[in-house]
Amino acid sequence: MKALVTGGAGFIGSNIVAQLLADGHQVVVLDNLMSGYRGNLAAYPEARFIVGDVRDPAQVGNAIAGCEVVFHQAASVGNKRSIDHPLVDAEINVLGTLTVLEAARAAGVRKIVAASSAGIFGELVTMPIREDHPVEPDTPYGCTKLAEEKLCLAYAKLHGLEAVCLRYFNVYGPHQRFDAYGNVIPIFVFQALRGQPLVIYGDGEQTRDFINVKDVVQANLKAAAAVGVSGAFNLGSAGRITINRLAELIRETGVPCTWSHGPARRGDVRHSLADISAARRAFGFEPAVGMQEGLAEYVAWARREVADPCTD
Ligand SMILES: NC(=O)c1ccc[n+]([C@@H]2O[C@H](COP(=O)([O-])OP(=O)(O)OC[C@H]3O[C@@H](n4cnc5c(N)ncnc54)[C@H](O)[C@@H]3O)[C@@H](O)[C@H]2O)c1
């Protein structure tokens, strides 16, 4: 099949590209490099890379021509970025998604698999979090990812395009770099590798459901292959750990690290844990990578990245 990966130069997108190519598919990437890197695709010259913006109908139309499936990963990512730049967040996540959906409809795409986020839920009411958990996002990002999801599902109802929205919990793995908007695992691992002390926000007893990017890729590919399946699905590992335990696990991979506690962060939820039974039933999703194994692989990748940083 031929597939378009929007945001394919990013962390998750580039891992999807790698697996699609390994499975023998043809791949087009559309990415404006806002937070992605050419270097993430350096090993995959077979992918056609278009530097372009999901908000631009002509660029999206060009990229999508002949594609059967779209993996829509492009986004303004993260709570903090959305608090700092709410208009950009809305333009990319809402109007960009709508532009991709319009192009998908016009091009006769069979399926869109879109990246949603656990950020749509806001503070936890019941645990584990099922798909019907109340959605009360705490940040502009949570609101725009919810809008993105609803738009995809409305297009599925209106236009016969199949749409699966995967509500990623905390994803980690190779190609996830440290930046001001980064998630806790890259921040901690890169700081530890640079010999800097870690700062844990609040008491560190807040929990997260960390899912390895290999499992996220598996879910994307299974969702794409599942004929007749549309809907929104929670995507985590179905396990959770505290941030204090995460720091210990990083130390157990062999990276010396120390940490202290700082003030709690605005917009952060206290606990998070996905119920993944709906994704299991609908398309056979089964997380396979344990936290220790996944962290060891990530630390090995991050060591190479710290020694020879990707700048492009
Ligand atoms: N990493 C996580 O834990 C996590 C959790 C929940 C949801 N998500 C979602 O997963 C998807 C991928 O996120 P990621 O973690 O790989 O982040 P990322 O920042 O590495 O990837 C996003 C990619 O989208 C590209 N992009 C941004 N704006 C664009 C635009 N206007 N046009 C074209 N490309 C654009 C960026 O350059 C980047 O390559 C996003 O939709 C994000 O909201 C990620």
Written as one string, the DSSP assignment of 207-259 is EE-EEEHHHHHHHHHHHHHSTT--EEEEES-S--EEHHHHHHHHHHTT----E
pLDDT-derived band at 124 (thresholds 50, 70, 90) equals confident
pLDDT of residue 178: 81
Phi and psi for 144 in degrees, rounded to 5? -75, -30
pLDDT of residue 268: 75
Question: Is pLDDT of 167 > 90?
Answer: yes
Residue of 276, 301, 283 whose CA lies nearest to 118: 276
Burial of 2 (0-12, 13-18, 19+ CB in 10 A): middle
* Tens-place pLDDT, residues 77-86: 998 899 999 9
Does 73 contact ligand 1 (Cβ within 6 A)? yes
Does 115 contact ligand 1 (Cβ within 6 A)? yes
> CA–CA separation, 15 vs 286, rounded Å?
18
Lowest mean pLDDT, pick from 55-59, 150-154, 182-186, 218-222 = 182-186
Question: Is pLDDT of 242 > 90?
Answer: yes
pTM to 2 decimals? 0.97
pLDDT of residue 200: 96
Q: Which residues contact 283 (CB under 8 A, 6 or more apart)?
A: 164, 219, 222, 223, 225, 226, 229
Which atom of ligand 1 is nearest to 211's Cα?
A: 3
Residue 155 appears among annotated catalytic residues: no
Residue of 130, 288, 283, 280 whose CA lies nearest to 211: 288
Tell me the best of 14, 15, 77 to mutate to test the pocket of ligand 1, counting ligand atoms within 8 Å of each CB and taking the most: 77
Q: Which token pair is 226?
A: 């599942």
Pairing mode of beta strands 2-6, 111-117:
unpaired
- Number of domains observed in the structure of the chain: 1
129 lies in some domain: yes
247 lies in some domain: no
Determine what percent of the chain is predicted with pLDDT higher than 70. Answer: 99
List the CATH number of the domain containing 102: 3.40.50.720
Averaged pLDDT for residues 289-299:
97
Structural domain boundaries, residue 87: 2-171+212-238+275-287
pLDDT-derived band at 169 (thresholds 50, 70, 90) equals very high
Question: Is pLDDT of 267 > 90?
Answer: no
> CA–CA separation, 172 vs 291, rounded Å?
10
Long-range residue pairs from 190-197, CB within 8 A, at least 24 positions apart, any chain: 190/302, 190/305, 190/306, 191/257, 192/250, 192/251, 192/255, 192/256, 192/257, 193/255, 193/299, 193/302, 193/303, 193/306, 194/306, 195/256, 197/257, 197/258, 197/259, 197/260
Question: Is pLDDT of 133 > 70?
Answer: yes
Q: Which amino acid is at 155?
A: Y
Lowest mean pLDDT, pick from 109-118, 120-129, 143-152 = 120-129
Mean pLDDT for the chain overall:
96
221 lies in some domain: yes
Which atom of ligand 1 is nearest to 183's Cα?
A: 3
Question: Is pLDDT of 290 > 90?
Answer: yes
Tell me the best of 15, 29, 33, 35 to mutate to test the pocket of ligand 1, counting ligand atoms within 8 Å of each CB and taking the most: 35
Averaged pLDDT for residues 284-298:
97
Q: How many angstroms does the Cα of residue 53 sit away from the middle of ligand 1?
A: 12
* Tens-place pLDDT, residues 34-61: 999 999 999 999 999 999 999 999 999 9
Cβ contact 211:170 at 8 Å: yes
pLDDT of residue 4: 98
13 lies in some domain: yes
DSSP H or E segment with residue 152: helix 140-159
Cβ contact 47:21 at 8 Å: yes
pLDDT of residue 261: 96
Cβ contact 29:71 at 8 Å: no
Q: How many angstroms does the Cα of residue 119 sit away from the middle of ligand 1?
A: 14
